[in-house]
């Protein structure tokens, strides 16, 4: 088994939301849950960086076999994204 990372990206590859998961047979269910999460969390259905409304899913297999194995790397990435989100939240909005 491999850990997948599914991202919801704009056409310029800016990530709106991402989910790591283990079971490769559940991609459609994961994408459906991500769309529901975007609505539930009140996330705008466009890119906050470039304003694009052309969003799509992209899935990739990570080098990790389990979420436990991937956890440290995911936490480092999550922390970096939180810093980026905070920096951009301080800038004037173009859209
Ligand atoms: Zn974008």
Per-residue pLDDT of the chain (95 residues; tens, 9 = 90+): 899 999 999 999 999 899 999 977 788 899 999 989 989 988 888 888 888 999 999 999 999 999 999 999 999 999 998 898 888 888 877 65
User: How many angstroms is it from 51 CA to the middle of ligand 1?
Assistant: 6
User: How many angstroms is it from 62 CA to the middle of ligand 1?
Assistant: 23
**Residue 85 backbone phi and psi in degrees, to 5:** -60, -40
Q: What are the structural domain ranges in the chain?
A: 4-89
Cα distances (Å, whole numbers) of residue 88 to 22, 41, 44: 31, 19, 15
| Closest by CA position to 49, among listed 12, 7, 6 | 12
Strands (E), the chain: 4-10, 15-21, 55-61
User: How many angstroms is it from 69 CA to the middle of ligand 1?
Assistant: 30
């Amino acid at each position: 088994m491999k850990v997948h990372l599914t991202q919801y990206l704009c056409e310029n590859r800016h990530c709106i939301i991402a989910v790591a998961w283990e079971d490769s047979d559940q991609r459609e269910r994961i994408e459906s849950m991500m769309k529901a999460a975007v609505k539930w969390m009140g996330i705008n259905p466009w890119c906050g960086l470039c304003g694009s409304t052309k969003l799509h899913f992209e899935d990739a297999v990570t080098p990790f076999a389990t979420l436990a194995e991937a956890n440290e790397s995911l936490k480092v990435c999550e922390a970096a994204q939180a810093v980026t989100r905070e920096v951009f939240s301080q800038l004037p909005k173009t859209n």
